[in-house]
Structure 1
Amino acid sequence: MNYYIKNGWRMILPLIASLILLAGCGKSAGGEIVPGKVNVVTSFYPIYEFANAIGGEDANVINLLPVGVEPHDWTPRSQDILNTSKAELFLYNGAGLEGWAPNFLKGLGKDANVKTVEVSDGIELIYSEGDDGHGHGEEGHGHEEEGHDHEAEGHDHEAEGHDHEAEGHDHEGNEETPDHHIDPHTWVSPKSAKIIVENIKNSYVEVDPDHRENYEKRYAELVQKLDALDAKFTEELSKTSKHEIVVSHQAFGYLSRDYGLTQHAIMGLSPEAEPRAQDLVNLSNMVKEEGIRYIFFEELVSDKLAKTLASEAGVETLVLNPVEGLTKDQQKAGDNYFTLMEKNLQNLILALQ
């Protein structure tokens, strides 16, 4: 390793702790229960958007996560539990994303009639080998969960007595839990998103069969858009000469698996995980050796580490959005899952040429 890299990182590394994002928490996006409609509570933005699209005029959808807040470090309030206990549906990602979910579900109480649905159910999950929360520059393909096949019906999990922590789904749980390293970022791939929206549609039909035709119609329209997005990602990324991406945190495993990419992450599955010195040195060397021209960062987490690595490696930065939520500017501009994913594709094409 040359003198500049070795001593440059020696000066930079003491500052790393102050550069990690401290995500906001403790407040919610709000929303009230509306009589006469199917009331749906969602845990974070992509599920909220999909549930709104399928529910349409028949549903009232309340999102727990406020605009501009990153979901990994957020926790619900007592008002969120109260609202959810009065709703017909509670939709959450699962796969360990919502570390607060087990206690939240217990808090709904035995008298609540809300149906709880883990919308990632049926997706072949990715396991991050050896990821203890730090960014190791690991490849994003991971290991798929064996025997976890998607079926059209029966993906729902009832609140009463359903302890996800006991099953090893708690992302913030014990390091020794076998499933601790599940990658929860399922929605980032349009292929996985199609399974998510089917689960959402099925849950609507189950709690409100009288409006089944409406839900089926809106679901079909949404799937058509996801199919088009999937086809575009497949076609455009098959033409690129490079296939390796360097990202802020390890959120693009499903995108990488489904479209032939390999991700190298500065931070681990959670964006507040602190990288280790050797990981950063290795990433800097790899970027130079592989001729990588861009380091990707995200709008909802600090971009300082990505920009520091880019500066050290002599490359530029671009946005690659895990679509975990909208910024206030994106909300004002009318952005959504599809516009953000289109922007992701354009930036990937630019970086991988």
Structure 2
Amino acid sequence: MNIRRLIPAATLAGSLSLGLVALSACSPSDAADSAGGAAEKKGGKLAVVASFYPMQYLAEEIGGDHVDVSTLTKPGVEPHELELGTRQAAQLGEADYILFLKGIQPAVDEAITAAGVPNTVDAASLTTLEKHGSEVGHDHGDEHGDEHAGEEHAGEEHEGEEGEAGTDPHIWLDPVKYAEVAKGVGTSLEKADPDNAAAYRKNTTALVERLTTLDTAFKEGLADTSTKTFITTHSAFGYLAERYGLTQESISGLSPESEPSPARIKELRSIAAEDKVGTVFFETLVSDKTAKTVAADSGLRTDVLDPIEGITEKSKGADYIEVMKSNLAALEKALGAK
């Protein structure tokens, strides 16, 4: 997030030209048509490229047997810092359908724009994005409100590098917003591959039902807790906090790799005492060093709250739904759910 890592222009141009040469083998109408001709070349399946895991999950669940999904971000790779290689750039140009989330991966955003694939869908356009700083839904009052406001403003400035006008792109961590995106993805797949539209509609409905059940579990599980405040490594959980009436306090703002200031650490110690916070959460794809340092400094425990940017052997679940359930269990324990 904090560093825009772009592949060199010459490499990108060369890579994309390979993909465009592959596309040029079809007539203009073939390239813009429903998956018919293109899908026929790829074993009868729509060739889908997803930018990272949350998009991959949607494409696989909704596309089912009618899509062949590949992802630009391999398991274990921190998506914000992804560097595109020659193969990935060429892969974009050869896709029948691209699903990405603008604002998470600047290098990917630019490469996708350059690829110019007609069926390209930005998940951020399928729901309403909001601005979130280092905390959501809580006012700590005059004691440290001014100091915190400065931290939040700094976070929003940084996020402006990711999202449009400083918006928070972590929409998949809110099951309701993720369901909105799922509906939009389903509709776009129907248009890209009308021959299999009925299957996409059926799969979309099934996925939305599972996400609705997940939303209900979060509402019920977090309705009555001893505290509403949780501390995380970075501000990935703004939408989740807002949805379920919680307060997210991040150690290092919107960048998972940035170091917190001494003032922020002091403030977190005060917040933890005031709001009876007992746990500092870290995530699976970045170092837990900072979280453990802050926890030790304040006499707190540590646990995992996974932003689900990728699934690895360390993930507490095999897919999005399972990991979200693990997140719910971790929040219930940390917040003292009754």
Q: TM-score, normalised by structure 1?
A: 0.74
Structure 1 residue 121 displacement after superposition: 1.6
Tell me, yes or no, if structure 1 residue 320 matches structure 2 residue 305.
Answer: yes
* Equivalent position SS for 1:300: coil
Aligned length, in residue pairs: 282
For residue 195 of structure 1, report the CA deviation from its aligned partner. Answer: 1.1
Opposite residue 188 of structure 2, the aligned amino acid is S
1:87 and 2:95 equivalent?
Answer: yes
User: Could you tell me how far apart the structure 2 residues matched to 1:35 and 1:87 are?
Assistant: 14
Name the residue aligned to 2:128. Answer: 124
Q: Out of 38, 47, 52, which is 2:55 matched to?
A: 47
Unpaired stretches in structure 1, ≥5 consecutive residues: 1-20, 27-32, 130-137, 143-169
Cα distance in structure 2, aligned partners of 1:337 and 1:285: 34
Partner of 1:7: none
Shift of 1:35: 3.8
User: Match for residue 330 of structure 2?
Assistant: 347
The alignment partner of 1:62 has SS state of strand
Aligned pairs for 1:156-175 within 5 A: 173=161
Taking the aligned partners of 2:6 and 2:73, their CA distance within structure 1 comes to 9
Give the AA of the match of 1:277. Answer: P
Alignment of 1:1-353 (within 5 A): 34-94=42-102, 96-108=103-115, 113-129=117-133, 138-141=134-137, 173=161, 179-330=164-315, 335-353=318-336
Q: Aligned residue for 2:33?
A: none
Distance 1:25 1:300 in 2: 21
Confirm or deny: 8 A CA contact 2:317 2:323 kept in the other structure. no
Query: Does the Cα contact within 8 Å between 2:51 and 2:108 map onto a contact in 1?
Result: no
Deviation track 1:152-207 (CA, whole Å, cap 9, x = no partner) reads xxxxxxxxxxxxxxxxxx96749xxx945221111011011101111211111011
Alpha-carbon distance in 1 for matches of 2:55, 2:137: 24
> Aligned partners of 1:327, 1:93: CA distance in 2, in Å?
21
- Return the alpha-carbon distance in structure 2 between the equivalents of residues 77 and 171 of structure 1: 25
1:262-287: CA deviations, max 9, x gaps? 10000111212221110011111221
Task: Decide whether the 8 Å contact of 2:190 with 2:196 is kept in 1.
Answer: yes
Please say if residues 201 and 219 of structure 1, whose CA atoms lie closer than 8 Å, have aligned partners that are also in contact. Answer: yes
Contact 2:171 2:239 in 1 (8 A): yes
Change (3 A) 1:91 1:313: same
Task: Give the AA of the match of 1:93.
Answer: L
State how far apart, in whole Å, the 1-side matches of 2:220 and 2:329 are. Answer: 12
Residue 183 of structure 1 aligns to a residue whose secondary structure is coil
Q: Is the 8 A contact 1:139 1:263 kept in 2?
A: yes
Preserved contact between residue 81 and residue 107 of structure 1 (Cα < 8 Å): no
Contact 1:323–1:340 under 8 Å retained in 2: yes
Matches of 2:160 and 2:313 in 1, distance apart?
27
Seq. identity, %: 34
Q: Match for residue 153 of structure 1?
A: none
Higher alpha-carbon deviation: 114-123 or 251-260: 114-123
Quote the Cα distance in structure 1 between the aligned partners of 2:160 and 2:135: 22
CA contact 1:99–1:171 (8 Å) conserved in 2:
no
In the alignment, the residues of structure 1 paired with residue 294 and residue 285 of structure 2 have an alpha-carbon distance, to the nearest angstrom, of: 18
Give, in whole Å, the separation in 2 of the partners of 1:301 and 1:310.
16
User: Residues of 1 paired with 2:303 and 2:317: CA distance?
Assistant: 21
Distance 1:114 1:88 in 2: 8
Is the 1:87–1:114 Cα contact (8 Å) retained in structure 2? Answer: no
The residue that corresponds to 2:147 in the other structure is none
- What secondary structure sits across from 2:213 in the alignment? helix
Match in the other structure for 2:24: none
Structure with a larger share of its residues in helix: 2
The offset of 1:84, in angstroms, is 1.6
